[in-house]
Chains A and B, each alone.
With several copies, the nearest count.
Chain A
């Protein structure tokens, strides 16, 4: 069984932590391409009410096992140097970043295709739930559109 890497953090993902993650790859001089996907909280207006935040919860154990499986599939399919995934739990406000997917490879095609596929699989296969919190503090459960 492969090592299970953690992906959850109890806060929004800061631009600074993204920069640090990028900077750590400067020593890997076999990398030619990085592809990054960031999910940002939108303040959608639904029936005249504006979303001010999303509160994420997850079935963490199952999510981490599933992510390990996805990671193995992706590394088997694409020539990647590395891949990093972070997803926020708890309350993330509109304009903040809740998902950070980072793939790197020698040639750009692998990083690019892997990044899209991982984002798709995270949205489809990880047991994570978002509760949209409106400005009046009512809420509704988010549904992903595919």
Chain B
């Protein structure tokens, strides 16, 4: 799942096979070089993660650019 300006870059939610969040990001950066300019927060199944995290199939990964609510 992608939010904010990421939605415009990725265009839609993607199904990607990756064994970990680091691997996932590596693939995404290769495909969408613009991503590397953004400071992203990553959530796996609605929990924000800080380090590399193992992924199972059907895990939902959310990529979130800086918040700007309020």
Contacts and interface: CB of A to CB of B under 8 A. Distances in A.
Interface string B41-70: 101001010000000000000101111111
Given A59-B64, A65-B46, A141 B70 contact: no
Contacts of B48: 62
B70 to A, nearest CB: 4
A123 B4 contact: no
A57 B46 contact: no
A131 B48 CA distance: 23
B18 interface: no
A58 B5 CA distance: 12
A59 B69 contact: no
A141 B66 CA distance: 10
B67 A99 contact: no
Nearest to A119: B70
B69 A56 contact: yes
B68 A144 contact: yes
Interface residues of A, number: 26
A70 interface: no
Given A57-B3, A58-B3, A62-B48, 15 more contacts: A57-B4, A57-B7, A59-B3, A123-B69, A126-B67, A126-B70, A127-B41, A127-B67, A128-B67, A129-B5, A129-B65, A130-B69, A131-B4, A141-B68, A143-B66
Interface of A: 39, 56-59, 61-62, 65, 87, 98-99, 119, 122-131, 141-144
